Amino acid sequence: MNLKCVIIDDEPLAIDLLKSYVLKTPFLELAGAFDNALSAINTINENHVDVLFLDINMPQINGIEFSKMVPASTRVIFTTAYDQYAVEGFRLNALDYLLKPINYPDFLQAANKALEWFKLTDAGQTSNSIFIKSGYRMEKLYFDNILYIENQKDYVKFHLEDQKEPVSSLMSMQSLEEKLPSKIFMRVHRSFIVNLEKIKTIERNCIVFGKEYIPVSESYKVKFAEFLNKYFF
C-alpha cells in the first residue's frame, strides 16, 4: 500500500527536510509541497491525499484551522515547534504530532502509524461489523442492524433496529465516520450518520425512521441528492 502525502510549512528548510524524509520512505508518495495552506487545498481535494504533514504557525490561516477544512479521509500529522498545541491537535483527531526539529526515526514512526491506520480502515471497509467501547465493555455492532448514529457532545449513540435503547460510545463523529464503509453509511447532518440501506421514507428533507425525523442539512444536500438520483429515480 502506498500513501499520497502533502507537506505544508512556511519554512523552506522544514519543507526540504520533510521532502527528503518522504523520498526515503518507500510507501510514501509526495503529491505536493506548499509554503501556505490555501495553495494546497486544490491538490488535496483533486489527488485524494491520504496524509497531510501540516505546520501550525503559518500566515493567512494556521494549521489548526486548516485541518478542519480537509476531507475526513485525509489524515493529519502536525509538525510544529510548539508543544502547547498538542492537546488541541489530538482533540481534532490528528494522527500524530511531531515536534521540530524532526528526526527521521520519529517521522518514520508517524508514517508507519498512518500506514497501519489505512490498512485497518481498508479491512474495515470489507467487514460487516464494528467493535465499539460502551462503558467498560467492547460490543460488536453489525452494520445491518444500525439504523442511524447520533452525535451528543463527546458521545455517539447507535440506534439499532432490534433494540429500543441506543448504545452509547465515547468517540467523535469524525473518527467514526472514517471507520464506517461509505457505501453503506452517509453523514447527512453534523449530528447524524444514516444507514443508506435502511432508508424507506423521506419527508420534507428529513429521513424518517419510525417516529424519528433525521434532518438533511444544507451542506450535505448535494451529496444526498446524488445518492437519491442514483438509487431511487
Overall fold of domain 3-125:
Rossmann fold (3.40.50)
pLDDT score, position 118: 83
Lowest mean pLDDT among 68-72, 123-127, 185-189, 210-214: 123-127
Number of H helices, E strands in the chain: 7, 15
**Positive or negative: CA dihedral 160, 166, 168, 171:** positive
Number of residues in the chain: 233
Give the pLDDT of residue 117: 83
DSSP type of residue 181: -
**Positive or negative CA dihedral for 84, 45, 190, 157?**
negative
The per-residue pLDDT for 177 is: 86
Average of pLDDT values for 96-111? 94
Distances, alpha carbon 30 to alpha carbons 25, 159, 171, in Å: 10, 41, 31
Pair 189, 214: CB distance under 8 Å: yes
Residue type, position 209, single letter: F
Q: Residue 72 has what pLDDT?
A: 74
- For the segment 126-142, the average pLDDT, to the nearest whole number, is 83
Establish how many alpha carbons lie within 13 A of residue 71's alpha carbon, considering only the half-sphere containing its beta carbon. 14
Rounded average pLDDT over 28-55: 92
The model's pTM is 0.58
For residue 88, the model assigns a pLDDT of: 52
Distance CA 202, CA 64 (A): 37
Q: Which CATH class is domain 129-231?
A: mainly beta
Q: Where are the domains of the chain?
A: 3-125, 129-231
Residue 125 has pLDDT above 80, yes or no: no
Calculate the average pLDDT of the chain: 87
- 92 close to 7: Cβ distance less than 8 angstroms: no
